[in-house]
Structure formats: structure tokens, C-alpha cells
Amino acid sequence: MTLPTSLWQTFALKLDADRPGFARGPWFTMNAVLGLDGVLDHSRLATAFDELQRRHAVLRTEIVDHTQHIHGSPTAELELVDEVETHAEVPLAAPVRLRLAGNRLALHLHHMIADPVTLWNTLNELAALYSNTAVPPAAQYADYTLNEAELVERQRGPAGDWWQSRIADAKPCPQPPLQPAKQFAYRQQLLSPDELAAVNQRTLQQRSTPLVTLLTALAAGMTPYVGAGDTLVFATLFSKRDRPQWQRVLGPCIVPSAIAIPRDGDIAAVREAVVGCSRYARFPVLEAQMPDQSPFFEYVPQQWPAGYQFGPVHGSVAAVAGPKDTGLADILGIRLRPTTDGALTGHFSGDGTDWTEPLVAQLSARMRSQLLA
């Protein structure tokens, strides 16, 4: 069985065409490691993993020439190993791996067929199958893909007009530096737990959201470095699990899109812009005529579950990671997320051709000052 690729998969293939090996490579993955407080039955776990793949076609899906090719039978088996690491290679032809080493269980999914929610949903259903408490799947990713394609066509005219009106005058990047620079990737704490708690409290008082608050601060921090234009445009991802049946579905229910926000906007103006961007997010971003070299921004809320019950054995989340840094950096990527201890951390990366590491350090400092003002 074959299906056309979803918006996310089509976009990821374009990323891979621009940076060969980035999205089709084996390190473009979603990963989680559980710590177990007991011993799992190997045969029972292997059976549950096999059944999981049979229940969900997306776990048997290979992306081939802009189509989703669904294999008829499971493509992976439980791996019993001496130790597990947070990252592991996952081939596109067999997009799921499950590895068990003593009291550590690791799940690895290729990002072409998974988003962060898929990671948690997969573990939840695996535990339920192991415990004989699983309920039938609510939907398949094929259902989501076909519904998405229908919505794209239905909204294409209004969405295209809206995006054109938002990004026609945008110029979001500074001039290239005079001196060549190296690519970079690093993590740093942007706000302490107490500082983030204060920012979140102010966000509630303003009837806003963390995404809007962070974008407002980012725009203010970026203003001294950008070219002329009334709008700042960032590439981003929107989650679109906006129907009950999509809540438990396995597969990347995310839409590559953009956020176009006023350069000097206040909270209310940025909030209005984000609402509009989300409303018209189901539009092929490759058709949106975004400015060249638009930075990527993503805010990832803390989503770690309390744990999973495999019969009498409890599994708690020990580590989580997205794609491994492979040296194929984009012009500028900013990913912010709260940590388990309540701090706000940022992952900053770039190829050094426009936004250099010192410039990004200045940007993050200005953003921090804006958040604490």
C-alpha cells in the first residue's frame, strides 16, 4: 500500500535535498530511554512489540520517492543488548527500534514517521499491550494524511492570500558577517527555575501563552540585527492533533509552517499573529515564498509523562532526545524547552554563514533581558 507524503514528510525531504543525509539519514530520530524497577519478560515484550507494529501501519512505513510505502509485516524485532544509549541509528526502511539492556528500555523512531507525541503514545501502547490492557487504535496515520490533504486543498486560496499579506515585506536576517565563521551548536540555560516561574506568572496575567511571550522577547532581541521590514518570519512546526482521533494516533501530526510576527509588536499583536499563523498553518510552506534564510524557532513544552506500567514493572523516563547533531546545521535554529527542574534551556545552532555564534550569544542575552524586564 502507498500514500502520498504528508506536509511534514514532504518538507523533511526538501530539507534532505538541501542538506543530503539530514532527514533521510539514520540519526534523524526521536528517542526515549526508560528506567525499569523490575525485570521484563523478554518473550512477552517481543510479542507486544510485534503486535504494536501490526496495529500501526506507520511503524511499517518507508518513505520512497515522495510516497509512504507501507510494508505488510513488521520490519523490526526486539533487540537484547548489553547497554543502551539515548541515540541510536534508525534506518528509514525500518523506522522503529526497541532495545532492552537489563533495567533500561530504549525506543527509537525515525523522525520521518514520528513526532514527540508519537514517542509517548508508542510507549504507552507498548506497555498496554505487554499488560494486556490495550484498546483498539483510534485512527491510523493514513487517515490523518488524507484528512490533511483535503484540508490543504479546501484552505489553499484563503491561506495563500493570508501568507502573502503577512510575509511580503519581511526581511528577517542581518547581513552576512565580514569574516567567515564556523558552524556551531550548543545548549545553555536561558532562565533559572525561579525566573521562568515569574515569567510564566506574568504570562498568565497577560492572558497569553509561553510561545507568545517567548516570541515577543525574541523579536525584541533580534530587532537591532535585522534588515528593514515590518515583519519577522521564522520557520517553525505546529502540532495539529486538533481532533479527538488524532490524540492517540502514531505518526508525525505536525505541520511545517512559519510564524510571521510584528517586528516591534507587543504581546497582544504577537498573540494575534500567532493565532493567524496557526489557523492557516496547513498550507504547503514550500509555496509560501518565505524570505531566504529564515531562522527556525520552536518552543517544546515539557511533555515527559510520569511513567509507564508494564504489568508489575514501572518504567520511568530517564532520557529523551531528538535528532543527533550531525554537522548539517541550518542558518539559525533556536529550540527552547523547560527542563524537569523548571528551568528554560535553549539549543542554538547555525552554519555560521549569517548568524555567527557571538551574534547569537548577544541575541540570547537580549532575549533574556527582555523576558526579565
Q: How many CB atoms lie within 10 A of CB 91?
A: 14
List residues bridging with 66 in a β-sheet.
none
User: What pLDDT does residue 203 have?
Assistant: 93
Grid cell 510561545 is found at 211
DSSP states of 143-187 as a string?
Answer: HHHHHHHHHHHHHHHHHHHHHHHHHTT---S-PPPSS----EEEE
Mean pLDDT split into 10-residue runs, the chain, 373 residues? 93 88 92 97 98 98 94 96 96 97 98 96 98 95 96 90 75 55 88 96 92 91 73 87 94 90 81 88 74 81 88 95 73 88 92 84 93 91
* Residues 219 and 262: beta-carbon distance below 8 Å: yes
User: What pLDDT does residue 356 have?
Assistant: 85
**SS3 assignment, position 107:** strand
**Per-residue exposure over 65-77, b if at least 16 CB sit within 10 Å of its own CB, e if not:** eeebebeeebbbe
- Convert 45-111 into a string of H (helix), E (strand) and C (coil): HHHHHHHHHHHCHHHHEEEECCEEEECCCCCCCCEECCCCCCCCCCCCCCCEEEEEECCEEEEEEEH
In the chain, the domains with their CATH numbers are 2-130 (3.30.559.10), 157-302+326-372 (3.30.559.30)
User: What pLDDT does residue 165 have?
Assistant: 79
List phi, psi (to 5°) of 291: -60, 145
- Tell whether the torsion through CA atoms of 124, 130, 136 and 139 is positive or negative: positive
- CB-facing half-sphere around the CA of 225: CA atoms within 13 A: 23
Sheet holding 313-321, edge to edge: 79-80, 96-101, 104-110, 29-36, 313-321, 308-310
**What is the rounded distance in angstroms from the CA atom of residue 79 to the CA atom of residue 10?**
31
User: What pLDDT does residue 145 have?
Assistant: 96
pTM: 0.89
List residues bridging with 80 in a β-sheet.
100
User: What pLDDT does residue 51 have?
Assistant: 98
What are the distances in angstroms from CA 250 to CA 53, 133, 236, 321?
Answer: 11, 18, 21, 18
User: What pLDDT does residue 273 have?
Assistant: 86
User: What pLDDT does residue 54 have?
Assistant: 97
C-alpha cell at 76: 523490526
C-alpha cell at 136: 483498539
- CB-facing half-sphere around the CA of 149: CA atoms within 13 A: 11
**What is the rounded distance in angstroms from the CA atom of residue 152 to the CA atom of residue 137?**
25
**What is the rounded distance in angstroms from the CA atom of residue 217 to the CA atom of residue 213?**
6
